[in-house]
Amino acid sequence: MAGFTMSLNLLLLVAMVATNILSLYHLSSTTSFFQSTLKSSPSSVPTVPDHLLRQLHTIRSAINHLTTHHQPDKSTSTSSTISSSAPPKDLLLYSKLSPIASACHNYPDLLHEYMNYTPFFTCPSDTDLAEKLILRGCHPLPRRRCFSRTPRNPTDSKPESNVIWSYYSCKTFDCLTTKFPGLGFDLSLDKSKSQFSSYKSELDLPISQLLQIAKTANSVLRLGIDVGGGTGSFAAAMKARNVTVLTTTMNFNAPYSEAVALRGLVPLHVPLQQRLPVFDGVVDLVRCGRAVNRWIPVTVMEFFLFDLDRVLRGGGYLWLDRFFSKKVDLENVYAPMIGKLGYKKVKWAVANKVDSKHGEVFLTALLQKPVAR
């Protein structure tokens, strides 16, 4: 019976491939005819219909998928086959309702695990799994029909009560402050203000100086984005100056998003490779902290910079705060890449990294977008 089933499956596979090949030949011939005729008489022949091009692309993708993923495994016997587990029902349902990021399909095991839950009950404790998918480009994540886990007794008087600590090694903010002293887990406003008010080296840009620069240029600062802003220290300091700043952050082994929220600020849970969920030209200031550095692939970095340009209004400011790279890479790669934006250099300070063994440097740059292109 198993042999009959395998033979039937192979017969159906061959028939499907043959049908798609014939369709592909027909559509390719049609496309070639349109293109050749268009070259000879462009005024008399219409362009190839979009639906035909889309169908051609779909068939080609189907053939590639079939020939790549459905060939019999020669290493197994004919009496048994190995089949992957069926996708979770809610994954199939959601994929019909809304598109899923293409990168999600590159990690089917993680995606299946994430969507393998019991609908209408409490969601699994899988925050780390969601982070893994997001960091791999699977964003936005598919929606789920389950109840998210929340702290049992949250209170304003005790910040720790607003965090589910079972996800992390530390169980209090005091522990995080001791373990990561420079990451802003001390949620006091005075600490946030002092972090961005001092001038100790040419790499520093105090908020008071930033505001004065904008005022001198008759440029208003109302709304900003802090990319990779961690616990929201910069946004908290700017809030005290009546400037609203959104913070993009990820929960890397610590409750960064919760820390931002506890300051009364907005945490955007998006990775660096994700298009910013903000409309074009509505932001006055974009700050990039130390999360933006040379570890980002060059091509990804270029798309990232132009997305920042997209959300900045004319006359707005881009602040690269201690961008880290090798000096040779800064000169030959990143400085020319930044130069493509055509921004005015308000501040450009480069300093060597202390105890550097490979010529690493830090760059602090404040750049102003042209008012008109």
* Same domain, yes or no: 277 and 135: no
Q: What is the total count of domains within the chain?
A: 2
End-to-end, the C-alpha distance of the chain in Å comes to 70
Q: Give the structural domain span for 138.
A: 90-149
Cα 124–chain centre separation: 23
* Same domain, yes or no: 198 and 111: no
Question: Higher pLDDT residue, 52 or 13?
Answer: 13
The 10 Å Cβ neighbour count of residue 360 is 18
Model pLDDT for residues 314-331, shown as the tens digit of each residue? 999 999 999 999 999 999
* Same domain, yes or no: 235 and 355: yes
Model pLDDT for residues 343-366, shown as the tens digit of each residue? 999 999 999 988 878 889 999 999
Is residue 195 one of the residues assigned to a domain? yes
Is residue 201 one of the residues assigned to a domain? yes
Which percentage of the chain shows pLDDT scores above 90?
Answer: 54
Q: Among residues 122, 149, 176, which one ends one of the domains?
A: 149
Is residue 25 one of the residues assigned to a domain? no
Whole-number pLDDT of residue 198: 86
- Give me the torsion for CA of 305, 308, 312, 318, rounded to 10°: -60
Give the pLDDT mean for 29-53.
46
* Same domain, yes or no: 103 and 226: no
Instruction: Assign 12 a pLDDT band (cuts: 50, 70, 90).
Output: low
* Same domain, yes or no: 216 and 293: yes
CATH of the domain at 215: 3.40.50.150
Pair of tokens at residue 120: 């209408």
Angstrom distance (rounded) from CA 32 to CA 279? 40
What does DSSP assign to residue 180? S
Whole-number pLDDT of residue 194: 79
**What radius of gyration, in Å, describes the C-alpha atoms of the chain?**
27
* Same domain, yes or no: 115 and 204: no
* Same domain, yes or no: 212 and 340: yes
The 10 Å Cβ neighbour count of residue 24 is 16
Contacts of 54 (CB under 8 A, 6+ apart): none
Instruction: Assign 42 a pLDDT band (cuts: 50, 70, 90).
Output: very low
H/E segment holding residue 196: none
Instruction: Assign 206 a pLDDT band (cuts: 50, 70, 90).
Output: very high
Of residues 340, 348, 337, 335, the one with CA closest to residue 369: 340
Say whether pLDDT at 370 is over 90: yes
Considering the chain, what is the average pLDDT of its residues?
Answer: 82
Max CA-CA distance within the chain? 83
Q: How many residues does the chain have?
A: 373
* CA distances in angstroms from 302 to 284, 291, 320, listed in the order given: 20, 15, 14
Amino acid at 93: L
Amino acid at 127: T
Model pLDDT for residues 106-139, shown as the tens digit of each residue? 899 999 999 999 999 999 999 999 999 998 888 8
* Same domain, yes or no: 145 and 193: no
Angstrom distance (rounded) from CA 238 to CA 244? 7
What does DSSP assign to residue 333? I
Q: Among residues 99, 122, 149, which one ends one of the domains?
A: 149
* Same domain, yes or no: 208 and 337: yes
Is residue 70 one of the residues assigned to a domain? no
Angstrom distance (rounded) from CA 317 to CA 147? 40
* Same domain, yes or no: 130 and 195: no
Pair of tokens at residue 80: 């048994």
Angstrom distance (rounded) from CA 352 to CA 119? 54
The 10 Å Cβ neighbour count of residue 352 is 11
* Same domain, yes or no: 202 and 286: yes
What does DSSP assign to residue 222? -
* Same domain, yes or no: 225 and 343: yes
H/E segment holding residue 287: strand 283-288
Angstrom distance (rounded) from CA 114 to CA 105? 12
- How much is the pTM? 0.72
Cα 130–chain centre separation: 13
